[in-house]
Structure 1
Amino acid sequence: MLVLRIAAKKRPSLKDRVIPAANSILNWLTFYGSILLFLLYFSKQKWLFYTLYTSGDLDVTMFLIIVAFMIVSLGYQIARMIIKFIMPSVYDFYDVDRGLSYTLNRIIYYLILFAALAFSFSTVGLDLTAIGAIFGVLGIGIGFGMRNIAANFVSGIIILFERPIEIGEMIQLDGKIGKVERIRLRSTIVRTAKEGTLIVPNQHFIEQVIKNRTGSEMMASVTVSITYGTDTEEVERLLKIAVEQQKGHFEGILDFPEPDIRFVNFRDKALDFLVEVPVVNFDTKEKVESRLRHSIAELFWKHGIELASAYIERGEY
């Protein structure tokens, strides 16, 4: 350990990966050493080798059950170590992107864990063929009740392989914008600015239209409806003034692209204008939209421009 620590000072990458890996191995040796000492201490006790049940020619004892537990535990630890300490170097060397690396990590984890479970079942005499048949029969019986879980599980596999969304991407989900933090087999974790953490069933990403906002421009948008007969050129001029007033108050407003002000629609009793201002993130978007509405309301009141809704509420249409 002393040699590794001295080498780590010269090479930061060694410190980041080798030292934690060595610490993990020492923790493993301590844990499994304790179990081996336990087995050695009670090795002459009859209860440790007492036959609990017989599977074919195999007498299953408490000793075999402990060994099976150690196999599963060891498989879990090996999977974690490969994913945490070995695969990052491989991904860096081959320049694997974050989404693909996450998918490969999940595949490695489940394959190693499945192999460890299969080997541990065989150790205690459980027939995997019989277990598969039992689960097949149970699957028919409870399939209708668990069809949503099965659909989410399959959707999770599709997401991991096709990667329509990836870890770290910003998505818009039912009007909420959040960051994808984790993709699991049944659900995906999305963290939003206001609602906190959302646990979204994977089936939702396959069946619904999800907007991927990563790499796209974030726009603060305000729609204004005015009455017929209002000078539209004057309205556009006032909206530009409102935007310029706010550009000096927020560092999160981007200089490029330019803010966009458009006359977007004719309606039965209103004319619609859309104001769009590029911003850096979702928090700034909401603040800018609020301040824009304040500025627009003040400018419209000073210049005698009324919103269409005000006329409708007074019954002037």
Structure 2
Amino acid sequence: MEEIQTERILGFFEAIQNNEISFWLGAIIGFALIFVVRAGLHTGLKKIISQERTRLFLETLVNWVTLFVLIVYFLTYFSETSFIYQTLFVFGETQITVFLILTVLFAIVLAVKFSKAVREYVLPTVYDKYGLDRGLQASMNTFFHYFIITMAILISLSSIGFNLTSLTVFASVLGVGIGFGLQNVMSNFISGLIILFERPIRVGDRVIIDDTIADVEEIKIRATVVRTRVNERMIIPNSYFLEEKFVNRSYADTRLRIPVEVGVSYGSDVELVKQLLFESVYELREESWPNIVDRPEPRVFFEGFGDSALDFTVWFWIDSQSDEREFTIPSDLRFKIFRKFAENDIEIPFPQRDVHLISNDK
């Protein structure tokens, strides 16, 4: 009797094991448990560790371990199933299976995470050691990211027996596509590579595109992202920077010359006006804006005789470009010039016309 019950129990469990629903339910429960443990570890790290950099490093480590466990669990759980090795289609001489696709996807995910970790925790130390500028850092990060992903795909394909010569078929198809419909895409792609090597623009440069001043935020493979003064983003195709005319204010020198124009009434002492303009620049530099440089020196020009005023322009240079300096410094200088002119009885006239009436009385 006991043997019969034991056989029934074993048969019941075998039926459950062979049941497709229970198989997928077990897979889902297993994946869910892994993510629950991961979430618990993240919550514990936030409560225990207060230092942000250490916590972020440990959270990244937890994510790596979680991904590794997911891959091992998946391959172990589905290793005896037939569908994972079933041929979906044939590419060249290679049979494409679910296992091959998942292997490539896992390799790409690992490569992306590895690239991100190196770019966040390793490369910044190298950049600081050798004093590399921001633009070169962005270029090296981009190259490193795509190099790691490409190598991961090639290594994963070759390790599972994928015939890399089959890619020649894809290359020929891609060549035909480029010839007919992908000229612009490939042009921008190649232009992006040239920009990263030749560097006519760099991340952080201030450029003028169609009379719009913007800062370069990111140089991608196909397009460049720039930020305007009103915090709008413009997506510019990379080929634009090789084929069109634009201004790069930061290309060779980050300094910027700023002109401030002012008019004084006829009859003013022009030598005194010149002296007051120089004093205004020098005092502003000493009081609040050391960003005004000594070389080149400020210069004052007597521009001309206007309809209502004598026109002067004062030139000065600032050490680097930013919205705060480019607009705030000239504004502060105008306030100071206005006060100095008022203290020295220099009049800033408004437009006026003299009307002469001729009488025709006989």
TM norm structure 1 = 0.69
Could you tell me how far apart the structure 2 residues matched to 1:225 and 1:131 are?
69
User: Is 1:47–2:78 an aligned residue pair?
Assistant: no
* Structure 2 CA distance for partners of 1:265 and 1:303, relative to 1, 3 Å: closer
Aligned 8 A contact 2:261 2:314 in 1: yes
Q: What's the counterpart of residue 35 of structure 2?
A: none
Opposite residue 113 of structure 2, the aligned amino acid is Q
User: Is 1:306–2:349 an aligned residue pair?
Assistant: yes
Q: What's the counterpart of residue 211 of structure 1?
A: 249
Equivalent positions of 1:221-240 (< 5 A) are 221-225=259-263, 231-240=269-278
* Structure 2 CA distance for partners of 1:229 and 1:186, relative to 1, 3 Å: farther
Equivalent positions of 1:30-45 (< 5 A) are 30-45=66-81
* Structure 2 CA distance for partners of 1:182 and 1:263, relative to 1, 3 Å: same
User: Is 1:70–2:111 an aligned residue pair?
Assistant: no
Q: What's the counterpart of residue 22 of structure 2?
A: none
Equivalent positions of 1:23-172 (< 5 A) are 24-55=60-91, 58-88=94-124, 90-91=126-127, 95=130, 97-98=132-133, 99-119=135-155, 127-143=166-182, 146-147=183-184, 149-167=185-203, 169-172=204-207
* Structure 2 CA distance for partners of 1:256 and 1:268, relative to 1, 3 Å: closer
Q: Give the superposition deviation at 1:132.
A: 0.7
Q: What's the counterpart of residue 294 of structure 2?
A: 257
Q: Give the superposition deviation at 1:232.
A: 2.8
Could you tell me how far apart the structure 1 residues matched to 2:120 and 2:112 are?
12
* Structure 2 CA distance for partners of 1:216 and 1:103, relative to 1, 3 Å: closer
- Give the number of aligned pairs: 291
With CA pairs under 8 Å and 6+ residues apart, which has the higher RCO, 1 or 2? 1
SS in 1 for 2:247: coil
* Structure 2 CA distance for partners of 1:217 and 1:45, relative to 1, 3 Å: closer
SS in 2 for 1:97: coil
Aligned 8 A contact 1:225 1:271 in 2: yes
Q: What's the counterpart of residue 288 of structure 1?
A: 329
Opposite residue 77 of structure 2, the aligned amino acid is Y
Q: What's the counterpart of residue 9 of structure 1?
A: none
Q: What's the counterpart of residue 7 of structure 1?
A: none
Q: Give the superposition deviation at 1:274.
A: 1.4
SS in 2 for 1:33: helix
Aligned 8 A contact 1:261 1:273 in 2: no
Q: What's the counterpart of residue 33 of structure 2?
A: none
Opposite residue 97 of structure 1, the aligned amino acid is L
SS in 2 for 1:212: coil
Kindly name which structure, 1 or 2, has the bigger radius of gyration based on alpha carbons: 2
Could you tell me how far apart the structure 2 residues matched to 1:101 and 1:213 are?
16
Q: Give the superposition deviation at 1:136.
A: 0.7
Q: Give the superposition deviation at 1:171.
A: 2.2
Structure 1 range deviating more: 128-137 or 104-113: 104-113
Q: 4+ residue stretches of structure 1 with deviation over 6 A? A: 19-22
Q: Residues 230-286 of structure 1, C-alpha deviation per residue, up to 9 Å, x if partnerless? A: 6532432453465577568x6235575287241253478575421235556531442
Could you tell me how far apart the structure 1 residues matched to 2:278 and 2:92 are?
84
Q: Give the superposition deviation at 1:21.
A: 6.3
Could you tell me how far apart the structure 2 residues matched to 1:186 and 1:261 are?
44
Q: Which runs of 5+ in 1 are unaligned?
A: 1-14
Opposite residue 141 of structure 1, the aligned amino acid is F
* Structure 2 CA distance for partners of 1:255 and 1:118, relative to 1, 3 Å: closer
| Aligned-residue CA RMSD (Å) | 4.1
Q: What's the counterpart of residue 8 of structure 1?
A: none
Could you tell me how far apart the structure 1 residues matched to 2:332 and 2:128 are?
45
Could you tell me how far apart the structure 2 residues matched to 1:261 and 1:215 are?
20
Q: What's the counterpart of residue 12 of structure 2?
A: none
Opposite residue 277 of structure 2, the aligned amino acid is L
SS in 1 for 2:231: coil
Aligned 8 A contact 1:53 1:59 in 2: yes
TM norm structure 2 = 0.62
Q: What's the counterpart of residue 358 of structure 2?
A: none
